[in-house]
Amino acid sequence: CVTVDVQAACRDTTVTQELLKEGFHRDLLVRVELGEDAGGCAVAARTRLPAGIYVDPYELATLQQHNLTKAVLIPDVIDVEAPEYLARDVLVLLFLEPDPRCSRCFHAAVPVHARYHRPAEERQEALVVLESPEVLLCCCHSHLSAECWEPAEVNAPCSAKNAGPCQWHSAKHRPVYEELMLRVPVGLREHRSLVCALTLLTTGLCSSLILAAACKYGHFS
């Protein structure tokens, strides 16, 4: 790896994140611009997803097989069916790809999904706040400046192509980033009786139709 001016890179590093698409199924796009050319260093973004949003590990595995994204989930076992109030936070280490149009720029996206929340009293939406990710740098055999970077407690591969464990470093002094908010639609508690009645009616009707079709067209010995 080529040594970079880490102090300048840390001082001038900027990071932005954006939620693409609409609804419960989105793409989290992360962009990072270092102060100088990364010089062959691996760049990653570590972000904490709150309980209201998650990454599907099965979907992620499929995408990684096709080299569409690279990420590590901590923990790697996630209950995708759990509602928000029974779920836990998840750490995501997202490996960033270099931007061919900018030697100092990196980006990557990963699919995220909103969880169902408890019904609310008044507001018909819940806010899920995504904090700004931490920018991490892995420079192989380069020696990073202790004035700007400190070792990060990350047990992860060096990069998407190198499965061996590496020492990652994070910026001590980062710019102030804005938080990202996801608005998740939720039901109202006053509608609970109506929803239960309609659900029961629909279930009974569908069950009757299935039973009638089975009796009419089924072959019973």
DSSP codes of every residue in 63-101: HHHTTS--EEEESS---TT--GGG---EEEEEEPEEETT
Average confidence (pLDDT) over 101-123: 85
Eight-class DSSP state of 147: T
**Better-predicted residue by pLDDT, 129 or 3:** 129
Residue 179 lies in a domain: yes
d(CA 207, CA 43): 54
Whether 206 and 160 map to the same domain: the answer is no
Whether 159 and 201 map to the same domain: the answer is no
Give residue-wise pLDDT tens across range 185-210: 775 555 566 667 777 888 888 888 88
Work out the percent of the chain whose per-residue pLDDT is above 70. Answer: 72
Whether 204 and 146 map to the same domain: the answer is no
Average confidence (pLDDT) over 143-152: 65
**Better-predicted residue by pLDDT, 73 or 187:** 73
Number of domains in the chain: 2
**Better-predicted residue by pLDDT, 6 or 201:** 201
Average confidence (pLDDT) over 106-125: 84
This model's pTM is above 0.85: no
Confidence of residue 1 (pLDDT cuts 50, 70, 90): very low
Whether 197 and 183 map to the same domain: the answer is no
Q: What is the pLDDT of residue 7?
A: 42
Residue 63 lies in a domain: yes
Residue 72 lies in a domain: yes
Q: Which domain holds residue 202?
A: 188-220
Whether 72 and 165 map to the same domain: the answer is yes
Residue 6 lies in a domain: no
